[in-house]
Chains A and B, each alone.
Chain A
Amino acid sequence: MTTELNRGLRLEITDDRHFFEGKVADLLDRLYGAALRLAKNREDAEDLVAEAVAKAWASRRSLKDPEKFRSWIFRILTNTFISGCRKQAVRPQAETFQEHPSDVETAFSLFEELHQPFLLWWGNPEKDFLNKLLSQDIEKAVDTLPEAFRMVIVLSDMEGFSYQEISEILRVPVGTVRSRLARGRGLLQKALWEHGKDAGLIKST
């Protein structure tokens, strides 16, 4: 009886425009930030968020638990992004990759490249490097990642979703989330390293 009532109440809540609008308003900058990293440019990111919000409203009754609004709408956002990519007539290249990364790909570590164990305590080249990086540098490095890795980095590092939530958002096993994250982070650090060398942020020793 109480559960029936609760369910009825919950449906009413999610059906309510003010509930929906409030939730979206709270998340809008995060949705937009994520969309910007997925779509890589402002116009497409705006379209992506607008489309996802409209879709979310249309399917608001599929949200069974109002507590899960955030992962629910991010799922709609990533789905909209993926289906948008598929519709595009020309794709830069089909991104095929091995689900299980080789050691070479996950092994790259900025820290290992930069850290100098015998330096005196106040010297911290890896910290200096991070401090010199601009937000744009980090954004650009994320943009170089293949889609599958970019999505997990965005959902995990940028949005702070748990592995389980990411697995539900992307509908892939948790193990896949872990391996894509490991590989994505390796690739990201490699991209930052290359950028650092090009921009002269790394002193050659």
Chain B
Amino acid sequence: MKKVKTIGCEEALKHLLAYLDQEAGAIKRREVERHIEICRTCFSRAEFEQSLKTRLREAGRGTMRSSFEKRIKILFDQFTTKQKRETP
């Protein structure tokens, strides 16, 4: 296996978000990983950005009103009645 290139903080930060999004290519991923292992500041930064992503993910879960869930159910029932009419 090829030796992983050593990169600096600037380069690591440039690719950090793509890395956390799992969108960095295999080589960049290894370089960033290696840098994070040895650099405390970038490690903390990665940890912070990851926690923020997690918080955002949680905020994306809306609490639905039961009236809304009912509304969607009624919508489905309308689909099938329409479908029956469409296909004799």
Closest to A54 in B: B75
Per the CB 8 Å criterion, the residue count for chain B at the interface is 34
Chain A residues within 8 Å of B45, by CB: 111, 115
In the complex, the number of residue pairs spanning A and B with C-beta atoms less than 8 Å apart equals 98
- Write the A55-75 contact mask toward B (1 if CB under 8 angstroms, else 0): 001000000000000000000
B56:A158 contact, CB within 8 angstroms: yes
Among the interface residues B48, B49, B56, B76, which one has the most CB atoms of the partner chain A within 10 A?
B56
Per the CB 8 Å criterion, the residue count for chain A at the interface is 48
Least CB distance from A63 to B in Å reads 15
A117:B41 contact, CB within 8 angstroms: yes
Given known contacts A127-B51, A163-B21, is B68 in contact with A138 (CB within 8 Å)?
A: no
State which residues 140-190 of A face B: CB under 8 Å: 142, 153-154, 156-160, 162-163, 178, 181-182, 185, 189
State which residues 52-79 of B face A: CB under 8 Å: 52-53, 55-65, 68-69, 71-72, 75-76, 79
Interface of A is mostly: helix
B49:A157 contact, CB within 8 angstroms: no
Least CB distance from B78 to A in Å reads 8
Report, nearest first, the 8 A-B pairs whose CB atoms are least far apart: A158-B60, A33-B62, A157-B56, A33-B60, A32-B62, A36-B62, A138-B59, A111-B48
Q: Answer yes or no: B44 CB below 8 A from chain A CBs.
A: yes
Could you show 14 A-B contacts with beta carbons less than 8 Å apart? A17-B79, A17-B80, A20-B79, A24-B72, A28-B69, A37-B60, A50-B71, A115-B48, A127-B51, A138-B56, A153-B56, A154-B60, A158-B60, A181-B17
Given known contacts A28-B69, A115-B41, A178-B18, is B76 in contact with A45 (CB within 8 Å)?
A: no
